């Protein structure tokens, strides 16, 4: 009869203490150390109770459990297991530091300030983060950055992880950089091996200098950086964070002072390396004043696909009482009740909202007022937009029908 001797080792991380146990899973250790070169994992005395994050080597793969994986997860490679562990230790760090807010974004340091680019579906934030490193900028992470109450970004010390294989169309200089700095990888993912000049150490802080929303488009020949209203940055931070225990009201009070003082841009690009170099060269000169123009109504609310009202609807409407209003430039963020959903209004929807706070009006009266204000926009277009917006307002509980004034 053959007995299996378990190899059980516990590990600690700065800022967390003992937090990871490997059981017959030592192949995962060098991957973790390479991927978290800025957040050193160290062996510690075996704990009397099992740490929250545990990995068992089993049947040629690995079985992992953590608070986020109460039923466990099977992972077939050491890199896959390390990816899962890293996500869990990042979550544990944020739970242990309740004064921080975790932002789901990539980040790079430019001239002593941190540029962050929040997650956008398949826009390539990890590749763009790696491209900033290739362009010579120190990165603070490609997935999570902690935000302090003072508006500083904190690095966790985790290297960028690229989806493999890399697209053949990427810049040759970037391909060479990845090949030179290739860390642990499997058929799906690969970590970059970066020294401290290109990867910020765990706990390093820099003030947030800009928010960049990213849009990868293969038809773009030259990167484009466009100045946006501050509300775009606020909206992304409200959507792309890990603060599950905080209400929208608490989040907006944390993010609003930050967003008011930093610029927000849209970066459209096809090649990540060219985009990183372009941003590094042009960010400071890209600040431009915004002009106010008529915008199609926007009220991002609980039911953004709510049906429009009939344009001939004769009912009068007034705004419901709000618990909280947060003006930001030409936009307004409204929470209708404590703990309720947050609604974002642009210059047009905000104008309607303010009108309905002062008096009850119907679609025709609102359209007439806005047509005069936003000339030369046609009355027909304004009426259509007002009907759509009031439908959204009504579905979100922001307005109510009342008796029309005589």
**pLDDT of 320:** 86
**pLDDT of 324:** 73
Which residue did the predictor score with more confidence, 273 or 340?
273
**pLDDT of 227:** 78
Of 105-114, 130-139, 162-171, 255-264, which range is least confident? 255-264
Instruction: Give me the percent of the chain exceeding a pLDDT of 90.
Output: 48
- What average pLDDT does the chain have? 85
**pLDDT of 340:** 60
Per residue in 279-321, pLDDT tens?
A: 998 875 443 333 334 455 555 544 456 788 998 899 999 988 7
Sheet containing strand 324-328, edge to edge, reads: 299-300, 342-345, 331-335, 324-328
In this prediction, residues 18-45 reach a mean pLDDT of 96
Map tokens 């490609």 to a residue.
Answer: 142
Tell me how far apart the alpha carbons of residues 233 and 257 are, in angstroms, rounded to a whole number.
Answer: 12
**pLDDT of 186:** 95
Confidence of residue 349 (pLDDT cuts 50, 70, 90): confident
In this prediction, residues 4-15 reach a mean pLDDT of 87
For residue 110, pLDDT beyond 80: yes
**Could you write out the DSSP letters of every residue in 319-372?**
EPP-SEEEEETTEEEEESSTT--EEEE-HHHHHHHHHHHHS-B-HHHHHHHHHH
In this prediction, residues 112-124 reach a mean pLDDT of 80
The model's pTM? 0.74
User: Which residues have C-beta within 8 Å of that of residue 119, sequence separation ≥ 6?
Assistant: 104, 105, 125, 240
**Could you write out the DSSP letters of every residue in 223-288?**
-EEEEE-HHHHHHHHHHSB--TTS-HHHHHHHHHHHHHHS-EEEEEES-HHHHHHHHHHHTGGG--
**pLDDT of 253:** 79
For residue 139, pLDDT beyond 80: yes
Map tokens 């992992």 to a residue.
Answer: 64
Confidence of residue 5 (pLDDT cuts 50, 70, 90): low
Confidence of residue 2 (pLDDT cuts 50, 70, 90): very low
């Amino acid at each position: 009869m053959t007995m299996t001797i378990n190899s059980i080792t516990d590990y600690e991380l700065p800022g967390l203490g003992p937090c990871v146990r490997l059981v017959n899973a030592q192949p995962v250790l060098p991957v973790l150390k390479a991927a978290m070169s800025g957040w050193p994992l160290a062996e510690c005395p075996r704990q009397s109770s099992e740490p929250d994050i545990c990995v068992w080597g089993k049947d040629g793969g690995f079985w992992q459990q953590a608070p986020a994986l109460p039923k466990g997860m099977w992972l077939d490679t050491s890199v896959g297991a390390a990816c899962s562990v890293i996500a869990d230790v990042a979550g544990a760090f944020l739970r242990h530091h309740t004064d921080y807010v975790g932002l789901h974004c990539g980040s790079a340091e430019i001239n002593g300030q941190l540029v962050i680019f929040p997650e956008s579906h398949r826009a390539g934030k990890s590749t763009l983060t790696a491209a900033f490193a290739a362009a010579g900028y120190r990165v603070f992470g490609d997935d999570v950055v902690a935000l302090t109450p003072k508006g500083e970004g904190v690095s966790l010390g985790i290297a960028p992880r690229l989806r493999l294989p890399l697209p053949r169309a990427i810049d040759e200089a970037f391909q060479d950089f990845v090949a030179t700095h290739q860390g642990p990888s499997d058929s799906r993912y690969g970590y970059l091996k970066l020294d401290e000049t290109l990867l910020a150490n765990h706990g390093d802080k820099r003030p947030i200098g800009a928010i960049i929303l990213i849009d990868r488009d293969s038809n773009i020949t030259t990167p484009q950086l466009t100045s946006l209203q501050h509300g775009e940055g606020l909206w992304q931070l409200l959507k792309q964070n890990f603060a599950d225990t905080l209400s929208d009201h608490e989040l907006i009070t944390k993010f609003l002072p930050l967003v008011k003082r930093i610029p927000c841009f849209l970066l459209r690009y096809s090649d990540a390396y060219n985009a990183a170099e372009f941003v590094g060269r042009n960010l400071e000169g890209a600040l431009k004043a915004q002009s106010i123009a008529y915008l199609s109504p926007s009220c991002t609310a609980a039911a953004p696909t709510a049906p429009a009202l009939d344009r001939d609807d004769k009912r009068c409407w007034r705004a419901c009482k709000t618990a909280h209003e947060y003006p930001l430039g030409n936009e307004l963020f409204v929470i209708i009740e404590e703990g309720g959903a947050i609604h974002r209004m642009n210059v047009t929807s905000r104008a309607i909202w303010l009108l309905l706070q002062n008096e009850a009006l119907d679609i025709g009266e609102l359209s007439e007022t806005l047509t005069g204000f936003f000339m030369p926009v046609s009355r027909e277009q304004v009426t259509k937009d007002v009907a759509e917006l009031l439908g959204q307002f009504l579905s979100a509980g922001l307005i109510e029908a009342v008796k029309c004034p005589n």
